[in-house]
Amino acid sequence: MATYVLIPGAAAGPWYWHLVGAELRRRGHDVVAVDLPCEDDSAGLAEYADTVVDAIGGRTGVVLVAHSFGGFTAPLVCDRVPVDLLVLVQAQIPAPGESPAQWTADTGYEQARREQDERDGRAPGDDDTDLFFNDTPPDLVAEAQRHTRGQSATPFAEPWPLAAWPDVPTKFLLARDDRFFPAAYMRRIVRDRLGITPDELPGDHCLMLGHPAELADRLEAYRTGA
């Protein structure tokens, strides 16, 4: 039995992982979906990492899975507690000293988004729902919108404090239909910052909602080396 620890992205909570969590529990694993203090203006990256470490407690056999903005927190956790495997799911990959606010400029995000918007026929002022949920079933989109939370700006201003990526086996799982973090853009970042080729699944930015079984299967394959 493994312990899967699931970190959400910005303005999100444990609910976003509920379908994947159910799939992993069916396979006999312990699952901890972390509730980050995203609405607390006194909480920064250190406090986010504290929350994950506290949620892990004395558990062992940890597979740490981070989505989107969770990519800034997960490596900090790996630097503090034993983690067998780190899996980034369409997640941001920080560089030493880089704040989340700087990440978009440093990685060329605005240009990548403009190019993606042109491909999608999007215009300024269009509804942002399809940026995140263009491949998610409508009933889950409606439920996700009810579970959207506030997001403090505090952690976005803080430099990422590690001098290097932690010495933990790391996998990257890319969502090839994501309009928010376009696929070509993310492939480049993964190559440049981690030196690996990402694996890919169909799905939008929140592929854990649209493809939970496929995501759980891939996590298990990573864990077992299959």
pLDDT in tens, 108-131: 999 999 999 999 888 877 888 999
Q: Across the strands, what pairs with 87?
A: 65, 171
pLDDT band, very low/low/confident/very high, at 14 (cuts 50, 70, 90): very high
Q: Which amino acid is at 116?
A: Q
Q: What is the pLDDT of residue 128?
A: 87
Average pLDDT over residues 203-208: 98
The confidence band for 155, taking pLDDT boundaries of 50, 70 and 90, is very high
Question: What pLDDT is stored for residue 123 in this prediction?
Answer: 83
Burial class (CB in 10 A: 0-12, 13-18, 19+), 188: middle
Q: How far apart are CA 14 and CA 34, in angstroms?
A: 6
Least confident of 22-26, 51-55, 129-133, 184-188: 129-133
**What distance in Å separates the CA atoms of residue 126 and residue 130, rounded to the nearest whole number?**
9
- Can you give the pLDDT at residue 48? 98
* Structure-token match 């004395």, residue found: 58
The residue segments making up the domain with residue 131 are 3-224
Q: What is the pLDDT of residue 136?
A: 97
Mean pLDDT of the chain: 96
Residue 175 has pLDDT above 80, yes or no: yes
181 vs 1, residue with greater confidence: 181
* DSSP three-state, residue 174: strand
CA geometry: angle at 73 spanning 206 and 154, to 5°?
Answer: 95
pLDDT(95) > 90: yes
Q: Is the pLDDT of residue 226 over 90?
A: no
Number of compact structural domains in the chain: 1
- The confidence score (pLDDT) of residue 127 equals 82
Which of the four pLDDT bands, split at 50, 70 and 90, describes residue 74? Answer: very high
Q: In this predicted structure, what is the pLDDT of residue 124?
A: 77
Residue 159 Cα distances to 98, 99, 209, angstroms: 5, 4, 30
pTM to 2 decimal places: 0.97
Is the pLDDT at 205 greater than 80? The verdict is: yes
Provide mean pLDDT across the span 81-110. Answer: 97
Place of tokens 């379908």: 19
CATH number at residue 151: 3.40.50.1820
